[in-house]
Structure 1
Amino acid sequence: MRILSLLLLTIFIGTSCSSQKITDMTTTQMEYSAVSRGLYKKILVQNKTVSIINGKNTDAVVSKISDAKWKQIVTEFSKVNLESIPTLKAPTEKRFYDGAAIANLKVVQNQKTYETQGFDNGNPPKEIEKLVNLLLDFTKE
């Protein structure tokens, strides 16, 4: 009887932890920005909505994210180690000589902020590449 109780308790705790991670995404905020002399782009994703600003003096365009797209974002986000985000190295350095806009990814989760160092717009570190590309897809729609 004790073994059965222990087994059920373990399953219950495991299930609640996995559902908690999905619930945490409702309060998680992801912000991608790219800035240069001629470019200003900001993509803000939070709780199945996306806000896009293209240009410094333009208003944000807000839209809902489809369930399929949201599931992709959640899947890729779960693969990212938030603690390592500030130490990620950019694969290229075109931003140093105006060859690319300076891009940045900032994640706010549980009142804690994780922010990358600058990297070239369109060429993020491999560890966050799929997530960044999903965010950039919103500007192509």
Structure 2
Amino acid sequence: MRLLSFLFFTIFIATGCSSQKLADMTTTKMEYSAVSRGVFKKIIVQNKTAAVTNGRNAEPVEKKIDDAKWKQIVTEFSKINLENIPNLKAPTEKRFYDGAAIGNLKITQNQKTYETKGFDNGFPPKEIEKLVNLLVDFAKE
């Protein structure tokens, strides 16, 4: 009986933790930007909505995110160690000679902001590559 109670309690706690992780995503804000002399792109994703700005003086265009795409974003987000984001190293350095726009990912969660160092647009660090590619897809639509 004790074993059964312990097993039930463990499952209950694990379920509560995973749903808490999903609930935190409603207040999480992810912002991707790509900036150079000729490029300005900003994508803000928050609570199943994406706001895409293409151009410095352009108004953002809002799009609803369907459940399948949102689930992909949540899955990739959960794989990221937020505390390590500022320490990620860019795999290429084309931005140093105007070979690529400067990309940047900023995540705000629980009133704390985590921001990458600049990296080449299109070549994010491996640790955040899948998430960045999902965010950039909104600018292509």
Give distance in 1, aligned partners of 2:21 and 2:55: 34
Calculate the aligned-residue CA RMSD, in Å: 0.8
Give distance in 1, aligned partners of 2:7 and 2:30: 37
TM-score of the pair, normalised by structure 1: 0.97
Give distance in 2, aligned partners of 1:136 and 1:12: 37
TM-score of the pair, normalised by structure 2: 0.97
Runs of 4+ in structure 1 over 4 Å off: none
| Identity score, percent | 77
Give distance in 2, aligned partners of 1:139 and 1:60: 11
Aligned to 1:130: 130
Aligned to 2:77: 77
* Number of residue-to-residue matches in the alignment: 141
Per-residue deviation at 1:10? Answer: 1.5
After TM superposition, the structure 1 = structure 2 runs for residues 1-141 of structure 1, keeping only pairs within 5 Å, are 1-141=1-141
Which residue identity does 1:49 align to in structure 2?
A: T
Q: Deviations over 1:23-69 (max 9, x none)?
A: 11111100000110111100000000000001110100001001111
Which residue identity does 2:51 align to in structure 1?
A: S
SS of the equivalent of 1:52 reads: strand
SS of the equivalent of 1:23 reads: helix
- Unaligned runs of 5+ residues in structure 2 are none
SS of the equivalent of 2:122 reads: coil
